[in-house]
Amino acid sequence: MTEVPELPAAANARLIERVDAIRDAIGHAFIGQAEVLDQILVALLAGGHVLIEGVPGLGKTLLVRALAQALDLDYGRVQFTPDLMPSDVSGHAVYDPKSESFKIRRGPVFTNLLLADEINRAPAKTQSALLEVMQEGQVTIEGKAFTLAPPFMALATQNPLEQEGTYPLPEAQLDRFLLKVLIDYPQLEDEKRMVTAITSGRAASDFDLSRVPRVLGAGELLELQRATAAITVDDEVIDYAVRIVAATRQWPGIAVGAGPRGSIALVRASRAQAVLAGRDFVTPDDVRDIARPALRHRIALAPELQIEGQDADDVLGALLAKVEAPRR
């Protein structure tokens, strides 16, 4: 077994109860898309960042705002555009004539939950402004490092690359996201509930977030993240996760496989996946269930597969079917 402290049964029960409370609170505004919400919660519990891909108008911004309210966290938003500068994200020095000195004006990254909206509409130089804060939890402005108060989570949204005016994210930045979550059109019944909730007796065209209760605070969230990190992972399960990632490096049709950070991300996410399943230990099913979101943005397909219309999930599905899981 790996050397991690085991989580007492009572503590695990409280952990699961709090996660359920977060899910229920967000559900007051974010209707349907249960799999999307669960994957966001996986990243939250694991202390990771999320890249959310989907066409405009599917509720990505609403989801992040509801999450911030349910957790009673500071929330910031940056709308990425082609003319956005890195300093517009991180902050910059401003000259104060009165004091005849420069003062630091902090950017929107100084928050707990940061929504980087349509991140692939800005060029790579601006996209990379998030790199340091996502990895190190700090921002450097005019040569001086500023540490962000935890917790910090970046949720970046992007449009599918076939849309006009989009730039592919640099590989180094993609690797910093724990998960890539795909959000699709809602089911008809969910969309009907959504339309009813928005149009019934209200002039506004958005959800009333006042219906989202505050169920946790920053300190309690940090406790949840520490408790998730203490979830037991057997050595055989870690070996299984590493073999999955290693297989991406030699799989036919994958031009670039996932690196060691992919293995780390897969195990971290699997712990949180176990929590959502109500367990205090990780199973091979947890690894398999979260493998696509954890790895789909860390591999690059060969051109011939792209021409055939295959995507990363298709290839990962075939790979997962071949990599042998440990016996129970």
201 lies in a domain?
yes
Domain boundary among 178, 208, 230: 230
- Specify whether 96 is located in the same domain as 201: yes
Pick the more confident residue, 28 or 155. Answer: 155
Top mean pLDDT of 61-75, 155-169, 190-204, 254-268 is at 254-268
What pLDDT score does 129 carry?
83
- 125 domain-assigned: yes
3-state secondary structure the chain: CCCCCCCCHHHHHHHHHHHHHHHHHHCCCCCCCHHHHHHHHHHHHHCCCEEEECCCCCCHHHHHHHHHHHHCCCEEEEECCCCCCHHHHHEEEEEECCCCEEEEEECCCCCCEEEEECHHHCCHHHHCHHHHHHHHCEEEECCEEEECCCCCEEEEEECCCCCCCCCCCCHHHHCCCCEEEECCCCCHHHHHHHHHHHHCCCCCCCCCHHHCCCCCCHHHHHHHHHHHHCCECCHHHHHHHHHHHHHCCCCCCEEECCCHHHHHHHHHHHHHHHHHCCCCECCHHHHHHHHHHHHCCCCEECHHHHHCCCCHHHHHHHHHHHCCCCCC
Q: State residue 207's pLDDT score.
A: 66
- On whether both 26 and 141 belong to a single domain, the answer is yes
At 164, is the pLDDT very low, low, confident or very high (cuts 50, 70, 90)? low
Q: How high is the pLDDT of residue 14?
A: 84
Please identify, among 169, 201, 230, the residue that sits at the C-terminal boundary of a domain: 230
Residue 32 has pLDDT above 80, yes or no: yes
pTM: 0.90
Per-chain mean pLDDT for the chain: 88
pLDDT greater than 90 at residue 69: yes
Mean pLDDT in residue range 270-275: 97
Q: Are residues 257 and 327 in the same domain?
A: yes
Q: Tell me the average pLDDT across 109-113.
A: 94
The reply to whether 268 and 202 lie within a common domain is no
Instruction: Reply yes or no on whether the pLDDT at 305 is more than 60.
Output: yes
pLDDT at residue 58, as a whole number: 78
Higher-confidence residue of 206 and 178: namely 178
Whether residues 138 and 256 share a domain: the answer is no
Question: Which residues form the domain of 325?
Answer: 231-328
Lowest mean pLDDT among 64-78, 170-184, 187-201, 207-221: 187-201
Nearest CA to 247 out of 282, 290, 299 is that of 299
Q: Does residue 102 share a domain with residue 145?
A: yes
Same domain, 289 and 327: yes
pLDDT of residue 42: 98
Judge if 204 and 302 occupy the same domain: no
Same domain for 235 and 156: no
CATH label of the domain that carries residue 249: 1.10.8.80
Domain termination site, one of 230, 257, 277:
230
Specify whether 245 is located in the same domain as 177: no
Q: Examine residue 16 and state whether it is found in any structural domain, yes or no.
A: no
* CATH at 123: 3.40.50.300
Domains held by the chain: number: 2
- In this prediction, residue 110 carries a pLDDT of 94
